[in-house]
Structure 1
């Protein structure tokens, strides 16, 4: 199960899941387009709510990956190289990180992430 929580004031997003689901998300991002239903949280505190779906697509005209919440959907779109880097890093985090760790995916720290992207934290489901 994957879940994405959002903050109504800071635009920050938290994507969490078990290792197998995070690994599967990395694999999914390697395709040209796709989507995945998300588990909704009954009590998202300290966040404002949860999103219901991830939708992604490759954009051959882009050199970066954009990660933006629109309504109840997390939209990820970008160039193939940027999406592959995101997939590699998600898979690496899921494979190697301690269960208590989290990873901040945002520009400019991740130079393949578009500056207009919402700040995203990836972690393991508690």
Structure 2
């Protein structure tokens, strides 16, 4: 039996060293073995890090939304328009509901980039009234 083990060890060594040999099958006097070449997976190549690219972030846009259902009215005779500057706590409009006037206040400072409602328009809770670019 030790002759068989020695033979298998030699064949296994030949299998690992041989570039063209993938497997060896040995059988003799009622026993047999199939030897296959051990394949080691190569780890992926580590690439050099890509150079960093500076990308200018787009300005942050925040929506001022209706806090309740009702009718929206501009705060003054002069409605807010695109390009107008607003500050935190400015009253940007009024929503009336059940004959009560509720101020719509800005929580941010920025520039109006879109007016999404008209004076006298019925608005839903969460509806966007204005879009503001932070400054």
Q: Same fold (TM over 0.5)?
A: no
Greater relative contact order structure (CA < 8 Å, 6+ sep):
1
- TM-score, normalised via structure 1 length: 0.27
Query: Which has more helix, going by share of residues?
Result: 1
